[in-house]
Amino acid sequence: MSLTVAPEFSTRVRRDEPLSRHTSWHVGGPAEVFFNPRDRNDLAAFLRAAPPEVPIQWIGLGSNLLVRDGGLEGIVISTHGTLDALERLSETTVYAEAGVACARIARQCIKWGLGPAEFFAGIPGTLGGALAMNAGAFGGETWQHVRAVETIDRKGRTHHRAPSEYRVSYRQVLAPEPEEWFVAAELAFERRAGSHAGEVQKLLAQRKASQPIGEWSCGSVFTNPPGDHAARLIEAAGLKGFRIGDASVSQKHANFIINHGQATAVDLERLIGHVRDTVARIHGVALHPEVRIVGVP
Ligand SMILES: Cc1cc2nc3c(=O)[nH]c(=O)nc-3n(C[C@H](O)[C@H](O)[C@H](O)COP(=O)(O)OP(=O)(O)OC[C@H]3O[C@@H](n4cnc5c(N)ncnc54)[C@H](O)[C@@H]3O)c2cc1C
């Protein structure tokens, strides 16, 4: 049965849009309905008109998503290239919409003389994804800077929420309501004299030396277990270079899995399972995926 979309949106939704075009692993089957809103009002109107029983999945830059080959039933809302306002609110606070790329936040904060925001340069996703994941890099974490968020629900209503309403931990954010998504946040930084652009370049160069940047990946596949590093455990289990289909464990950083060009989501998910099972057998440690796995097999 085909999902009915209100007539005012029918020419703008993309049906059966391959999600491989929207994920950094470049895999994933089709989205039944793919919608990229023009702005907040358009988004609210679309949500109000959406059938209440239809599943909704949000996607930013798809840099932490493994979409299965069968794709996603229901609606996919993409914030990429939209919801992109970024403004300075006060001496030390910034307002950013969910579709703003994290790297842009880093660059703009440096221009404004605010920090520490350099870590955002290491996260190749949107602010919405960073809020959902509590993304972090180089010792900084997204929610350390959140003063307030704006969310939208299935009925298109906006909510203003304080960080205290969320349970935030390492790469995990538990929201007070399951079907509310981030549309913007107010972020606080400190005043920093001088430019820190050189600092960003240094951090990115360090990262390039230790991670397979430029290859098709989702960054770290597993979260680090308490007191250890997933990469160390995977490497010590002899899994560097282990391959299934066209996917392999990176030789450069064992917690990265690379799609060499033709991998399917099945290859990637099998490889994730193999790494998890091997580490559990050899080290007795349970690894948990940081990557979100969604969709129909
Ligand atoms: C090369 C590489 C390096 C990486 N390095 C790091 C790193 O150092 N640190 C780190 O933390 N991560 C890292 N990542 C992972 C990834 O970039 C982050 O998790 C990022 O925050 C995901 O943002 P995104 O916009 O791509 O989200 P997506 O992958 O599109 O989505 C991730 C999750 O967020 C949800 N989501 C997206 N937007 C919204 C929204 N507006 N409201 C509610 N939910 C939403 C999605 O539904 C999904 O569940 C790396 C990835 C790559 C490819």
pLDDT in tens, 20-33: 999 999 999 999 99
Ligand 1 nearest-atom number relative to CA 59:
30
Mean pLDDT of the chain, nearest integer:
96
pLDDT of residue 108: 96
Q: Are 245 and 2 in contact (CB under 8 A)?
A: no
Q: How far apart are CA 174 and CA 171, in angstroms?
A: 10
Cβ–ligand 1 contact at 125 (below 6 Å): yes
Ligand 1 pocket member 151 (CB < 6 A): no
pLDDT score of 259 more than 70: yes
- Burial level of 214, CB count in 10 A (0-12/13-18/19+)? exposed
Nearest alpha carbon, ligand 1 atom 20: 125
Choosing from 107, 171, 248, 250, the catalytic residue is: 171
Give 68-123 pLDDT, tens digit per residue.
999 999 999 999 999 999 999 999 999 999 999 999 999 999 999 999 999 999 99
- Whether residue 269 is predicted with pLDDT greater than 60 in this model: the reply is yes
Structure tokens that stand for 116 in this block: 């520490």
Whether 220 is catalytic is yes
Q: Is the pLDDT of residue 1 over 60?
A: no
Residue 291 has pLDDT above 90, yes or no: yes
Tokens describing residue 15: 């049906």
What's residue 195's pLDDT? Answer: 61
Q: What is the pLDDT of residues 189-238, one digit of tens each?
A: 999 876 667 888 988 999 999 999 999 999 999 999 999 999 999 999 99
Mutation to probe ligand 1, out of 21, 47, 63 (largest number of atoms < 8 A from CB): 63
Long-range contacts of 164-173 (CB under 8 A, 24+ apart): 168/134, 168/143, 169/134, 170/134, 170/136, 170/223, 170/224, 171/133, 171/134, 171/135, 171/136, 171/223, 171/290, 172/133, 172/134, 173/131, 173/132, 173/133, 173/134, 173/143
Average pLDDT over residues 233-256: 98
Residue 66 confidence (pLDDT) above 90: yes
Within its chain, how far is the Cα of 7 from the centroid? 31
The reply to whether ligand 1 has any atom less than 6 angstroms from the CB of 37 is no
Judged by DSSP in three states, 149 sits in strand
**CA 52 to ligand 1 center in whole angstroms:** 26
213 CB less than 6 Å from ligand 1?
yes
Give the residue, out of 58, 68, 169, 229, with the most ligand 1 atoms within 8 A of its beta carbon, to mutate for a pocket test. Answer: 58
Which is the catalytic residue, given 63, 78, 220, 250? 220
Q: Is 77's C-beta closer than 6 angstroms to any atom of ligand 1?
A: no
CB-neighbour burial class of residue 212 (10 A; exposed 0-12, middle 13-18, buried 19+): middle
Please give the pLDDT value at position 192: 86
Is 136 a pocket residue for ligand 1 (Cβ < 6 Å)?
yes
Q: What is the pLDDT of residues 140-176, one digit of tens each?
A: 999 999 999 999 999 999 999 999 999 999 999 999 9
- Tell me which of 133, 151, 223, 292 to substitute to probe ligand 1's pocket, judged by most ligand atoms within 8 Å of the beta carbon: 133
Residue 260: CB atoms within 10 Å: 13
**0.85 exceeded by pTM:** yes
**Whether the CB of 182 sits within 6 Å of ligand 1:** yes
Indicate left, alpha or beta for 44 from its phi (over 0: left) and psi (-120 to 50: alpha): alpha
Share of the chain above pLDDT 90, in %: 93
* AA letter at 255: N
Q: What are the start-end ranges of the E strands in 195-294?
A: 243-244, 247-249, 257-259, 292-294
Q: Alpha-carbon distance 247 to 257, whole Å? A: 7
Q: Cα-Cα-Cα-Cα dihedral of 288, 289, 290, 292, to 10°?
A: -140
Q: Is 78 in the pocket of ligand 1 (CB under 6 A)?
A: no
Q: Answer yes or no: 290 catalytic.
A: yes
Mean pLDDT of 242-266: 98
Residue 2 has pLDDT above 90, yes or no: no
Closest among 45, 101, 103 to 77, alpha carbons compared = 45
Alpha-carbon distance of 21 to 244, in angstroms, equals 22
What percent of the chain is modeled with pLDDT above 70?
Answer: 99
Distance CA(184)–CA(89), nearest Å, equals: 13
Q: What is the 3-state secondary structure (H, E, C) of 92-115?
A: CEEEEECCCEHHHHHHHHHHHCEE
